[in-house]
A and B are shown apart, each in its own frame.
Chain A
Amino acid sequence: MTLFIDLTLNGLSYGAIYAAVALGLVLIWRATRVINFAQGALATLTTYVAASLLDRSINSWVAFAAALVAGLVFGAVTERVFMRPLYGKPELNPVVVTIGLLILVESVAGAIWGSTDRGIAPPGGVSQSGIILGHTYLDFSAFDIFILGSVIVLMVLMLVLFRWTSLGLKMRASAFAPEVARLLGVRVGRILTVGWALATLAGALAGMLVAPLVFLSPNMMDPMLVYGFAAAVLGGLDSPVGALVGGILSGLGISYIGGYLGSSMETVGAALLLIAVLSIRPEGLFAAAKARRV
């Protein structure tokens, strides 16, 4: 029973991280119909930015914030420099470019910071040891609570932005009908830049949350991208709420598989989940039922 509880709690905190990765993928997919394969690599890069600041004894919260800001900047630059020339080109082009970027960014990170694993402490020295509730030791730390909390805050902020601000309205209008939005006076290009910036910020948060759980290395985010992609597909690729639910569900699923069948089965489990969703319900759990002009 305790194993089940531990696996559930563990699944929740990892699920929150997958949700953040999935949110980044969803935001970009919605706005530009591109799967950003470089999402994880960019998140690794932002985590290295924080790590370099930590090496210089800079306050860990400042480093944490710097990683998020770096995410905004890297996302905006990626859209402006690499993606902008590709709009209206064959759909394969952005796929090739983002995969190329994934390889490029990971090699650059390896060249600058070396490819050996390094540890990253949680910001503010938040504890990573389990809490004791009554007489039971739970494999759930203050940092796990921080993970869940920060992802929920991110989701709520994004929801508010999309639903109740005019920037969010312009982002939705540009995603649904760029030509019409343009005609109505929306600078669609700029809106897309903002969208990529926010998406990469979500990835940067995922990077900062996962780094203390695993080790920071240039390939740290590769499995996260796979799990996050599974979560995004499960949630319907189009829905930020779906990304959250998909993230939590796949976090739980992968945690149970790892706990009961052995950790080597985790990736297999994620792949099976992806295949199952794509073959049974390819539109995901939360995608709008109606057809949409793209």
Chain B
Amino acid sequence: MAQASEQSPAVAGPNTSLEVEGVTVSFGGLTALDNVSFRASDGEVVGVIGPNGAGKTTLFNVICGFVRPAAGRISWRGRELRHQRPHQLAHLGITRTLQGVGLIAGLSALENVMVGAQPLARTGSASALLGLPSSAKEERRLRASALEALARLGVAAYAGEHPSSLPYPIQKKIALARALVSGPALTLMDEPASGLSSSDIAELGELLRGLRSEMGVLIVEHNMDLVMATCDRIVVLDFGRVIATGTPAEVRANPVVTEAYLGAPVEAEASDA
């Protein structure tokens, strides 16, 4: 994987990375995101948490270019992502997992991961259309990277299977392999722990901590144990606003956060931080 990320064209600057500044999104009269700002650096696991409807997935959609913000800016390695289109993101070195699994039903596990490996491709569609040998070589290279990514997550045995026939936790791992295969500089994970057993979640936590040496990770997650145990920094959203940012300990101790989650003031002593 490490060598894969060296090939990625996006790995340019040292520690610069994602910067979200004053992003506002409204759907009709509803403000989904209100002046949201935060940053994520290389080698850092940042968690985005908040009650349902706080705007977490919308935030991911803005970063990916599915939703255009009414105000604010998003920069990647110091360059503003102004009119980025979803397909360009992977080539910039940013990948994303979807809520649920988001695997493509008509493709095998390996093929799903190979689609994720496309940013590694050096030759274009034209040479494939002309049947050039470079295209066949490319194909083998992508296949090898995809198999490697599946093996890393311990699911290489399922390479030829169709996702829908596999148990949910296996599907989740295939989806993760697909997000990691291109050696991105930043991965956005939308609820990676949902639907997983506690042992699977522990394994996921270990993986996330291990990814620090290779990339930045931004996760939206409801499982507080996972978030508290793996994130370096946490951004708390509530009704589209950032109400707190800090280390897990700081966030846990913040009364505003507990209030957002429980809807009423609680005794500060209840917190164990």
Q: Do A and B bind each other?
A: yes
Interface residues of A (CB under 8 A from B): 161, 164-170, 172-173, 175-177, 179-188, 190-191, 194, 288, 290, 292-293
Mark the stretch among B14-22, B40-48, B115-123 that contacts chain A.
Answer: B115-123
Q: Which of A172, A180, A183, A184 has the most CB of B within 10 A?
A: A184
Residues of A within 8 A of B129 (CB): 161, 167, 194
Of A170, A183, A188, A293, the contact of B96 (CB 8 Å cutoff): A183
Closest partner residue, chain A, to B106 (CB atom): A176
Contact A180 B125 (CB under 8 A): no
Contact A292 B102 (CB under 8 A): no
Question: Closest CB-CB distance, A170 to chain B, in whole Å?
Answer: 7
A290 and B104 contact, Cβ closer than 8 Å, known pairs A164-B139, A166-B114, A166-B139 = no
Q: Mark B97-137, 1 if CB is under 8 A from A, else 0.
A: 01000111111000100111011010001001100000110
Task: Let me know if B90 is at the binding interface, CB within 8 A.
Answer: yes
Contact B106 A166 (CB under 8 A): no
Contact A184 B115 (CB under 8 A): yes
Task: Let me know if B39 is at the binding interface, CB within 8 A.
Answer: no
Task: Describe B's contact surface by its main secondary structure.
Answer: helix
Residues of B within 8 A of A188 (CB): 87
Contact B87 A173 (CB under 8 A): no
Given contacts A184-B115, A293-B105, 6 further A-B contacts (CB under 8 A): A165-B139, A166-B118, A173-B104, A180-B103, A183-B87, A183-B98
25 inter-chain pairs at a CB distance below 8 angstroms, sorted by A residue, are: A164-B136, A164-B139, A167-B129, A169-B115, A170-B118, A172-B106, A173-B107, A173-B115, A175-B106, A176-B106, A176-B107, A177-B104, A180-B98, A180-B104, A182-B85, A182-B87, A183-B64, A183-B86, A183-B90, A184-B95, A185-B118, A186-B115, A190-B125, A194-B125, A290-B105
Task: Describe A's contact surface by its main secondary structure.
Answer: helix
Closest partner residue, chain A, to B165 (CB atom): A290
Q: Which of B163-207 contact A (CB under 8 A)?
A: 164, 178, 182
Contact B105 A177 (CB under 8 A): yes
Task: Let me know if B142 is at the binding interface, CB within 8 A.
Answer: yes
Task: Let me know if B138 is at the binding interface, CB within 8 A.
Answer: yes
Contact A166 B86 (CB under 8 A): no
Question: Closest CB-CB distance, A169 to chain B, in whole Å?
Answer: 6
In whole angstroms, what is the CA distance A190 to B106 when docked? 20
Residues of B within 8 A of A182 (CB): 85-87
Question: Closest CB-CB distance, B115 to chain A, in whole Å?
Answer: 5
In whole angstroms, what is the CA distance A292 to B105 when docked? 8
Question: Closest CB-CB distance, B4 to chain A, in whole Å?
Answer: 14
Residues of B within 8 A of A165 (CB): 128, 135-136, 139
A185 and B128 contact, Cβ closer than 8 Å, known pairs A166-B114, A166-B118, A292-B105 = no
